[in-house]
Structure 1
Amino acid sequence: MLVDTLTQLRTGQLAGTQRLSLSAGLTRIPDEVYDLAGSLEILDLSNNALSDLPHDLTRLTRLRVIFLSNNAFEHVPEVLGALPSLTMVGFKANRIRHLPAASLPPHLRWLILTDNELDTLPDALGHCGDMQKLMLAGNRLSALPDSMAACHKLEPLRIAANRFPSLPDWLFSLPRLSWLAYAGNPCCQMDEAAVAAQARVGAISWNQLALKQVLGQGASGVIHQADLLASNDCGAITPGPSRDVAVKIYKGAVTSDGSPESEMAACVAAGAHPHLIPLEATLADHPAGTPGLVMSLIDPGFTDLAGPPSLASCTRDVYAPGTVFTAETARRIAEGIASAAAHLHALGIMHGDLYGHNILRDANGNSLLGDFGAASFYALSDPQRAMALQRLEVRAFGCLLEELIAHVDQAGFAQGGDDASSPLARMIVLRDACLSPVAASRPLFPEIAAALAG
């Protein structure tokens, strides 16, 4: 099928296309790509053997998005900086050691450099005034340019699995920063160890599990339904009934959010809470040594609250067409998640990915928060820094409230318009407080949960 796409390109069958994906061991871009200059907006050349880009790429004046993951680049080509319409650049899992200032497009909005070999970033990154999403996990960075204090539109920032000895103070002044992942750095290893040492969970052997269908997958792993076979105290399989569980098997050493080890540590340390997906054990004895988690299987009446952000929405979740809540259902969803977040923050854990696509909910508004792939630890002994981190996540919750309110049915708006004590009115007040550009003025989660509980 992939070869067929290349054949279609070379025979002119793709004339006028806006999106092109080619993965065929390419070492250079086929000349026929330039025949699409009048229409091409999204170009995906991931999973090839490319190490540079030609100057002719400037002919693609309409190009908005380019993906070049899993290639052989050691630098980000400067020609990208000359593409006038380019807003999204992805170079995940290459060997990039150099990001030239000239390679940054003038309207860059979303930059992915996950799993590379960068040890420095150019000051010019702070001049990217449109930057909304920056993915830098799995590099060798020990600092961010101070110029980035001017990136006032930045919302998700992934710097996990690097070499940061500390987080810069200006980070907490960014008015829209909401989703921060920094686990696996020297600055939080002691915090991670201290919290994890207080939590213990057993292990379940791979041999005790019979995998069934895939339930879902995200950036870090694939979740299967599985039968947990009956066993004795030594782990040997015995006759008896099995029971259903969910098993998360990690994909690799570095994800867009961080490392499996950090995620597992956060899952274990989080403990039990009515609005967290219950963890039963870690996975042991996988034949390939792959790490994993064994979790309770959630009632099928629970479904994803939303889908992840799209290329167009960038940092905002995508809800299924026709998604509508009553004001009370929306309030219950929000209350449950606020309660879970307050529980995590009390333990020194920041979820880092507080999004609708990481929430399960049922028709009555019962909610469960999952996916700790971006979770990070912080020291409760430093209350000033702890509250600054907590208030970053509060803004993420404000974005969630904004989305829930946008999907409340019109009857709910009519009912809550003038009543300051109504569920909808309370959510609107909290939304505005949580989204305040002045981080210090945002409420903390215990206060938020109490206000939602009414």
Structure 2
Amino acid sequence: MDTLAQVRNGQLAGATRLDLSCGLTEIPPEIFELAETLEILNLSGNCLHDLPQDLARLKKLRILFCSQNNFEHLPDVIGNLPSLQMLGFKSNRIARVDEASLPPSLRWLILTDNRIEQLPSSIGKCLPLQKLMLAGNRLSRLPEEMARCVNLELIRLAANQFEVLPDWLFHLPKLSWLAYSGNPVAADATGSRAGSIAWDELELMEKLGEGASGVISRARWQNGSRHVAVKIFKGEMTSDGLPASEKAACLAAGAHPHLVPVIAELASHPEDASGLVMEWIGGGFTNLAGPPDFQSCTRDVYAEDIRFPPSVLLKIARGIAEAARALHAKGIMHGDLYAHNILRDEEGHALLGDFGAATFHGRTDRLAEKLEVRAFGCLLEELLERWEGSKAPEELRDLVRHCMDPEVARRPGFPEITVLLGAFGLPSGPI
């Protein structure tokens, strides 16, 4: 984290990135001395409520973060930033987004956890837009002009007030990751009953990881004889939606060979926190990839040298297709079907986890399934790019193209995909 003193004494001259979180109520004018070089400006965690017109001097600015501030509207000056690609105003008090505030160059827009009731029609001019985060607002409709945003791949609409979603949303040619739980339009959870494990039955050990919705730790259970993983939900709005929706989806998904197994709900936490007790996935399992970065936007980041033997690659792909097939048979859209949410071992056994973006869509919604089929097509495409040895079979490349067909209705369903993958020498049934 940079300091205001460093900015004012010229220590950061020529910087391309600046991070300031020091209780700012206005932007120090010295920032504009970086106008010729600054590309990333992070002002999150301050007390700002507006931005100066001088901000437009930052002609090279690509990324602007102003989350956790006191903004009540999205400043118009942002629309004058010609190079801006990523904009984050999470957890402010924004009720108004004016027509002039969105630059057409945007690829990634984060307005999570605000008070927005309406988006401007000018969002339809943001043709490069790929990622749109709107969870935790007061939206009940989307502007029809958004149908022009044909590059949209990921949209988070959870925890708003939608009673219906527009038809055009389900026909966007690239939409792959959609979340809309916590809205009246979402179906009710079914089959979500589970046993419980009391907090005092667990002995917490080391932290295994932390995501947007909670912290996962290893714990001992049953008098220390069994290791489990415990996820404690933060109880806050996340970029994907509400932790309560994630918990309901995890429980409703039930047991499957290619889902991270959930044992029970957590009960009697001393701070009344909500949580889940899951099977501990021991050594030998690693994340298939890392999450998207600023540059890749919607696509995961893999280790540069990673390659998969054909048998391992096919086993991973088939396992995840089987998991998605089972989820959609129960009316659940995972919403975040990504390599970074998949654990796999060296032999290719794969487990899909993280239900933070899951939505109950009802068992009759075929278009919701076919949106997720494109997400699977992205995953399979990434795997085939890392096929070890000779070139991957053309039949698999055809399957990728079929899954990513711009005409959503023409895509296969997951039952068909599992059959097609089974034709490559893997046994039928659970693998």
TM-score (norm 1): 0.91
**Residue aligning to 1:220:** 213
Q: Which amino acid aligns with 2:414?
A: F
Deviations along 1:248-302, one digit per CA (max 9) or x if unpaired, are 1122321000101110010000000000000011112222222111100002201
Give the distance between the partners of 2:220 and 2:4, measured in 1 at CA: 43
CA displacement at 1:425 relative to structure 2: 3.5
CA contact (8 A) 1:111 1:134 kept: yes
More helix by share: 1
Q: Where in structure 2 are there 5+ consecutive unaligned residues? A: 424-431
Q: Is the 8 A contact 2:181 2:241 kept in 1?
A: yes
Give distance in 1, aligned partners of 2:42 and 2:253. 38
Question: Is the CA contact 2:44–2:67 (under 8 Å) kept in the aligned structure 1?
Answer: yes
TM-superposition CA deviations, 1:328-369 (whole Å, max 9, x none): 211111000000000000000000000000000111111000
TM-score (norm 2): 0.96
> Which residue of 412, 418, 442 maps to 2:411?
442
CA contact (8 A) 1:327 1:412 kept: no
**Aligned residue among 369, 375, 382 for 1:403:** 382
- 2:65 aligned residue (64, 67, 77): 67
Aligned residue identity for 2:229: A
TM-superposed CA distance for 1:210, in Å, is: 2.0
In 2, Cα distance between the equivalents of 1:426 and 1:266?
34
| SS at 2:370 equivalent | helix
1:268 equivalent to 2:251? Answer yes
- Per-residue CA deviations over 1:19-72 (Å, capped at 9, x if unaligned) read 111111111112221111111101111011010000111111110000011000
Q: 1:171 aligns with which of 169, 172, 175?
A: 169
Unaligned runs of 5+ in 1: 231-239, 417-423
Structure 1 residues 148-170: Cα deviation after superposition (integer angstroms, max 9, x where no partner): 11110000000000000011111
SS in 1 for 2:188: helix
Does structure 2 conserve the Cα–Cα contact (< 8 Å) formed by 1:329 and 1:364?
yes
Residue 192 of structure 1 contacts residue 265 of structure 1 at CA under 8 Å; is this kept in 2? no
Q: 1:30 aligns with which of 8, 28, 40?
A: 28
Residue matched to 2:188: 192
1:376-419 CA distances to partner (integer Å, 9 max, x unpaired)? 00122xx3xx111100000000000111011112x131xx5xxx
CA distance in 1, matches of 2:319, 2:238: 28
The aligned residue for residue 318 of structure 2 is 335
Aligned residue for 1:13?
Answer: 11
Deviation at 1:242, TM superposition (A): 3.3
Of 39, 44, 47 in structure 2, the residue corresponding to residue 46 of structure 1 is 44
Q: d(CA) in 2 for partners of 1:209 and 1:39?
A: 52
Residue 201 (structure 1) aligned to one of 191, 194, 199: 194
1:131 corresponds, among 121, 129, 132, to 129
The counterpart of 1:430, out of the listed 392, 399, 408, is: 399
Q: What secondary structure sits across from 1:247 in the alignment?
A: strand
Q: Which amino acid aligns with 1:392?
A: L
1:220 to partner: Cα distance: 1.3
Q: Residue 115 of structure 1: SS of its match in structure 2?
A: coil
What residue in structure 2 maps to residue 391 of structure 1? 370
Q: Say which of 333, 344, 358 aligns to 1:350.
A: 333
Which residue is 1:307 aligned to? 290
Structure 1 segments (4+ residues) deviating >6 Å: none
Contact 1:76 1:96 in 2 (8 A): yes
> Aligned partner of 2:188: which letter?
E
Deviation at 1:115, TM superposition (A): 0.3
Q: Residues 89 and 110 of structure 1 are in contact (CA less than 8 Å); yes or no, is this contact kept in structure 2?
A: yes
Indicate which of 269, 287, 291 corresponds to 2:274. 291
Name the amino acid aligned to 2:172: L
In the aligned structure 1, how far is the partner of 2:220 from the partner of 2:36?
A: 53
Query: How many residues are aligned here?
Result: 423
Cα offset, 1:217, TM superposition: 2.0
Shift of the 225–426 alpha-carbon distance from structure 1 to 2, 3 Å rule, reads farther
2:220–2:226 CA contact under 8 A, matched in 1: yes
Q: Could you tell me whether the CA contact under 8 Å between 1:258 and 1:373 is conserved in 2?
A: yes
Q: 1:201-253: per-residue Cα shift (whole Å, max 9, x none)?
A: 1111222222222212222112111122x3xxxxxxxxx44321111112232
- Residue 426 (structure 2) aligns with: none
- For residue 299 of structure 2, the aligned residue among 316, 319, 327 is 316
Structure 2 equivalent of residue 244 of structure 1: 227
Residue identity matched to 1:214? K
Matched residue SS, 1:412: coil
Does the Cα contact within 8 Å between 1:164 and 1:185 map onto a contact in 2? yes
Q: Give RMSD over aligned pairs.
A: 1.2
Percent identity between matched residues is 58
